[in-house]
Chain A
Amino acid sequence: MIRFDSVSYTYGTSSGRRKALDDVTFSLGPGEMLAVVGANGSGKSTLARLANGLLLPASGRVLVEGIDTATRSQRVRTLVGIVFQRPDDQIVATTVEDDVAFGPENLGLERDEIRRRVDQALAAVGLTGLEAREPHLLSGGQKQRLALAGALALAPRYLVLDEPTSMIDPKGRGEVMRVVSRLREDGHGVMLITHDLEEALVADRVLVLQSGRAVFDGRPSEMTKALDLDAVGLELPSIVRMAESLAAAGLVVDGMSETAVIEALCRSTL
């Protein structure tokens, strides 16, 4: 389990100190998908960097499987993989397979083990067959899946994804989100950081940040009732507004995805 225990974090700036995270407490278990949402500047990316010890809390504790990240244990870094927003910034090698092998090589693993991990990671993200391809020839969605494969090759138990789809086109976004769902099914704990509420709706839980504070932690379906989304800088997806209007008109719709709305409507007229 990843556990944030009353975590605060402060950045020093030229105009003084700015609190990026303020007394945040939550946890993420294996096989669970937590979406972390909030407007730009709400503290989402800071939270991502605290989860694997890239940043250490100013106060409070972050525990990964019971290990305090403040101990700077290497174990934390291997338990929690992280993927950032811009795939181009995360690619280091000149072929797809070398890029994925970079992490395991640095861990000093045996050659056979490296081969096994590279093959497995590329299969998990659907890039098998592109081993020899130069990364700059990949599409945006493929590059981001390559970055994911690089993180997976270190065999993490948890994955922190910091707005992995915000810079790629809708097709690439769909590809990445399908891989993310599969990783959760495989038992990985997934922390998906996003400002797209449509993506957040498929998570088990949503943590909403506003100016560094956690203002909601619960199921996606409860979020729209409990929160004034406008006030936290988020936009209610149009499909949810539609589902709410349908419910008000007496057509009960359980769930908020496109498919859920369609299925519910078709059932209601049978």
Chain B
Amino acid sequence: MSLNLVNVSYSYDRVPPPVRALDSVDLDVGVGELVLVLGTTGSGKSTLLLVASGLVEPEHGEAIIDGATLGREHVGSSVGLVFQDAESQLFADSVMDDVAFGPLNLGVDPTEASGRAHEALSTVGLQPDEFGDRSPFSLSGGEARRAAIAGVLAMGPRYLLADEPTAGLDASGRKAVREALLRARRSAGVVVVSHSSDDFLPHADKVLLLTGGRTSWWGPASALVAEPSPLVRAGLRLPPVLSVQAELHRRGRYDQPFTLDPTEAAHRISQVMRCSP
């Protein structure tokens, strides 16, 4: 099972001249995979999410879900979309009601909807007994963002798309959201869109790098870590640990494989430095 974009293009033309936001882009995410889509502001990341969710039909190319043409009927039930500032869409009196709203709205019976809401809250690390009765508006930033993600998960999507899910959160909030999405990956294909590689590159299976609406790199995350120069060319910042290894390599002082793990990187560097004359 997979969600595929094949040679997809899309232009915005409400104000002429048309702006090509996506140009011949391919994407492929399977259930159980996490794909990280990276690019600077204006690279086409958000348009890609709109097309991959079925909200927007591609101008050229195809969007396919599990072998069928992707359309609006898949939004929510098959493809869940978590917008930036998702917590601003929380509205109900209790966290439980908010999370159960989606499945109820899809026509799921109340007992089943409540069961799904419990499960979704557990997945995002908000224990239903502790958080279910609380007002969504009493939650911290990170908790509210996770409650919003639970609301999307409760609709039972096979694919989950998230736009900058950790933006504006502090360290503990970012970590909790990251862990929530990694748990969601066990039963769904997850696409995370971001302008920073810091939070998800160490956990991603594949990376799509967008530059000006085009694919500038697409492949396994491990290959990008091993040879990270495409990130720099796309105008993105290297994770600092990788940047140190890349610079030492450039100066001819480091010939080990690159790693994102700071302790392992230090170990490899110290080995090389000891051997040097």
Q: Interface residues, chain A, CB within 8 Å of chain B?
A: 39-41, 139-140, 166-167, 169-172, 174, 195, 197-198, 233-235, 237-239, 241-246, 248-251, 258, 261-262, 265-266, 268-269
B241 touching A238 by the CB < 8 A rule? yes
Interface string of B55-87 (1 = CB under 8 A from A): 000000000000000000000000000000000
The contact of A40 among B140, B237, B253, by CB within 8 Å, is B140
Distance in Å from the Cβ of A27 to the closest Cβ of chain B?
Answer: 26
- List of A residues within 8 angstroms of B173 by Cβ: 40
The contact of A251 among B142, B167, B243, B269, by CB within 8 Å, is B269
Identity of the chain B residue whose Cβ is nearest the Cβ of A270 in the assembled complex? B276
User: Measured between alpha carbons, how far is A195 from B240 in the docked complex, in Å?
Assistant: 17
B267 within 8 A of partner (CB): yes
B171 touching A269 by the CB < 8 A rule? no
B262 touching A239 by the CB < 8 A rule? yes
Q: Could you name 10 residue pairs across A and B whose Cβ atoms are closer than 8 Å?
A: A40-B141, A40-B173, A195-B170, A233-B170, A237-B240, A238-B241, A250-B270, A251-B266, A262-B247, A268-B273
A39 touching B172 by the CB < 8 A rule? yes
Distance in Å from the Cβ of B241 to the closest Cβ of chain A?
Answer: 5
Q: Given the known A-B contacts A170-B195, A170-B236, A261-B244, are A245 and B170 also in contact in the complex, defined by CB atoms under 8 Å?
A: no
B251 touching A266 by the CB < 8 A rule? yes
19 extra interface residue pairs, beta carbon distance < 8 Å, beyond A242-B263, A243-B266: A166-B167, A170-B236, A170-B237, A171-B235, A195-B171, A197-B171, A235-B175, A239-B244, A239-B262, A242-B240, A242-B265, A245-B266, A245-B267, A248-B266, A258-B240, A258-B244, A262-B244, A265-B244, A265-B273
Distance in Å from the Cβ of B135 to the closest Cβ of chain A?
Answer: 11
Q: Given the known A-B contacts A258-B244, A262-B247, A266-B251, are A246 and B236 also in contact in the complex, defined by CB atoms under 8 Å?
A: no
B239 within 8 A of partner (CB): yes
In the A-B complex, list the 3 residue pairs whose CB atoms are closest, starting with the nearest.
A245-B266, A235-B171, A249-B270
User: Measured between alpha carbons, how far is A156 from B270 in the docked complex, in Å?
Assistant: 47
User: Measured between alpha carbons, how far is A233 from B169 in the docked complex, in Å?
Assistant: 11
B50 within 8 A of partner (CB): no
User: Measured between alpha carbons, how far is A268 from B273 in the docked complex, in Å?
Assistant: 8
A238 touching B240 by the CB < 8 A rule? yes
B196 within 8 A of partner (CB): yes
Distance in Å from the Cβ of A199 to the closest Cβ of chain B?
Answer: 12
Identity of the chain B residue whose Cβ is nearest the Cβ of A174 in the assembled complex? B237
User: Measured between alpha carbons, how far is A258 from B246 in the docked complex, in Å?
Assistant: 11
B92 within 8 A of partner (CB): no
Distance in Å from the Cβ of A233 to the closest Cβ of chain B?
Answer: 5
B273 touching A269 by the CB < 8 A rule? yes
B40 within 8 A of partner (CB): yes
- List of B residues within 8 angstroms of A258 by Cβ: 240, 243-244
A246 touching B270 by the CB < 8 A rule? yes
User: Measured between alpha carbons, how far is A93 from B260 in the docked complex, in Å?
Assistant: 45
Interface string of B227-240 (1 = CB under 8 A from A): 00000000111011
User: Measured between alpha carbons, how far is A65 from B240 in the docked complex, in Å?
Assistant: 39
Distance in Å from the Cβ of A118 to the closest Cβ of chain B?
Answer: 27
User: Measured between alpha carbons, how far is A61 from B270 in the docked complex, in Å?
Assistant: 51
CB neighbors of A among B163-212 (8 A): 167-175, 195-196
A174, A198, A237 pick with most chain B CB within 10 angstroms: A237
B248 within 8 A of partner (CB): yes
A169 touching B41 by the CB < 8 A rule? yes
B244 touching A242 by the CB < 8 A rule? yes
- List of A residues within 8 angstroms of B174 by Cβ: 235
A39 touching B168 by the CB < 8 A rule? no
Q: Given the known A-B contacts A169-B41, A233-B170, A265-B248, are A246 and B253 also in contact in the complex, defined by CB atoms under 8 Å?
A: no
- List of B residues within 8 angstroms of A239 by Cβ: 240-241, 244, 262
Identity of the chain B residue whose Cβ is nearest the Cβ of A245 in the assembled complex? B266
A235, A237, A262 pick with most chain B CB within 10 angstroms: A262
User: Measured between alpha carbons, how far is A128 from B237 in the docked complex, in Å?
Assistant: 26
B273 touching A251 by the CB < 8 A rule? yes
A242 touching B266 by the CB < 8 A rule? yes
- List of A residues within 8 angstroms of B267 by Cβ: 245, 249
User: Measured between alpha carbons, how far is A233 from B40 in the docked complex, in Å?
Assistant: 28
